[in-house]
Amino acid sequence: MRYKLVLLIFLLFWGLMIARLYHVSIKSNFYYEKLARDNIERKQYIKPVRGEITDLHGNLLAMNQIGFSISIKPHFKQNDPRLLKVVDTLVETFPDLNKTVMLKVYKKNNSPYNHKYIKVVDFIHYPEMMGAYPKLSLSDAIKIEAETKRYYPYGRYAAHIVGYTGRSNKKENSKDPVVNEVGKVGKSGLERYYNKILEGELGYEVTKVTATNKAVELLEKVPPKDNKNIQLNVDIDLQKMIYERFKASKEVGVAVVMRTNGEVLAAVSYPSYDPNLFVGGISKKDWKALQDDLAKPFTNKFIHGTYPPGSTIKMGMALAFSKGLEGVLDSSEFCKGFITLGKSKHKFRCWSRWGHGTVGLRRAIRESCDVYFYNKSLKVGIDAMARNLRSFGLGVKTGVDLPREYSGVIPDKAWKMRRYKQPWYMGETVIAAIGQGYDLVTPLQVARYTALIATSNLVTPRIARKVDGNLTRPKAKHIHFNPYYLSEIRKGMYDVCNIKGGTAYRTMRDLPIKVAGKTGTSQVTSIPQNVKKRLKEDQLAYFHRSHAWITTYAPYRDPKFVVTVLVEHGGHGGSTAGPIAADIYRWLYRKGYFGKVPAKLSGTDNNVTQ
């Protein structure tokens, strides 16, 4: 036993000796070799040029302005006369620079361990630098480097689509080596969604340096991979026209124009903001103005605005009824202006206080009869309604190539129990059937679901057409509907825009192409039961007025485009949102989107803002 113990101690001793010998003679050699190499070799990264963003016709929506950054040699003490002289020279040359800020930035980044020049000026425009460059370049304490600055030529017109870049934070720097070097990152819109592509890949130079960090030989150079551009499906001229149309009518709202295959031609959220304010860091004054504006210009309303869909949900609701209970759409309903449930005296009213009489599916869509949908919903139930509506793209993300898209809500019994710990009531089924209650959708969801009704294909909306030279592939899921019911719904939508009595007849009847659609008036406040005759929308306080919807597709026989418009607190969809949609169709027609344009129309503007 003693012999084995001695042998074990002997083996342990020599095992430790061998391990130590390996560490000192071999492993440490690699470490010190690397340390020595780092002392004689310097690796400098070459920043890639951020890719540009263009519209459908090649117009630049996001570009790079050429300029220069200014850095100061490290290791100066804070009150070193040489440092102060350099800073004073920069202020004399460029009077807009702030001496205090430059010294503060220098102090923050200066360290005995930092051998890199410290950037104190992010960007000087090319023309300003040209006259000063010969003088400044003579100083070895100043380093001038080529720099680019993001610029958005169309400003607020496409801000919610394109987004903006801004200064990166520590968290963003730690996640991405390119961001860490460049110091800028996409913060919103396409700039954020496609940031990894737009930013490109770093290049680098490896040089041999002296003890004083002076480069004496170039050992290796790898150029950056940059100029990874993106072309959009968006027509910026259409985008501008719609924006100016909202501005002229002083309305707050959203308009989405989409091909029925999912390509987004325009998506306007009005009012908007100037993304150029954020590129170099927005001021507190400008940020406060954006935050305090009750119209919420910073909010991207077509994917972040959630609204009750009102009567625009009725086509989808009818299809949900048909899938939820076979044969439920075969019978008509009698509308006397309201219904009651059980022994309750509470009246669920139709928008027409006199009622519509006997109503079938097509007429229910044309005249937007609420009672028809009340009665059908009670036969089908909320769970089947919600399940099918979500499969039609309502209350779920569309998958559009923009960040942080909202889902909205299409409620059912389980949802209410999770959210409020309460049971579902029959009256809630009734109001959900006309797009009220808990129902919340985004305008882009409504546009997508309208394309589904027009084509039976649930598409994924796409903003980008080409990404780094590669065409994006449209995605679509075919959904089978009963052909008869779908035909009746489409005919009802045709009637809305083209037959007297249709809720959008006045604004949509004289268009150069046949349009099918549905209006919606989604209430934001409830109407007390003792109110027999409701006040007109323009008699209500602004924030008590209903949201005005219209969603359409055209041409009726061969659907190519969807136009969805929402006017916040606009009252009735037909009279407020309808004229905007009509102007969009006239513009599309004149620009040849529906085919050859008659000569007499090609040069006219028909009083539509360009």
| 111 carries an active-site annotation | no
Cis preceding linkage at 127, omega within 30: no
User: Residue type at 609?
Assistant: T
* Cα separation, 179 vs 183, whole angstroms: 5
User: Residue type at 79?
Assistant: N
User: Residue type at 437?
Assistant: G
Write down the catalytic residue from 69, 71, 311, 522: 311
At residue 537, the 3 state secondary structure works out as: helix
Q: Name the strand (E) or helix (H) holding 587.
A: helix 578-590
Per the CB < 8 A criterion, the answer to whether 458 and 260 are in contact is no
CA angle 588, 590, 595 (to 5 degrees): 75
Residue 337 region by backbone torsions, left for phi larger than 0, else alpha for psi between -120 and 50, else beta: left
CA angle 391, 395, 401 (to 5 degrees): 90
Per the CB < 8 A criterion, the answer to whether 311 and 517 are in contact is no
* Cα separation, 164 vs 190, whole angstroms: 8
Cis preceding linkage at 443, omega within 30: no
Residues 6+ apart with CB under 8 A from 424: 382, 412, 413, 416, 417
* Cα separation, 364 vs 344, whole angstroms: 25
Residues with active-site annotation: 311
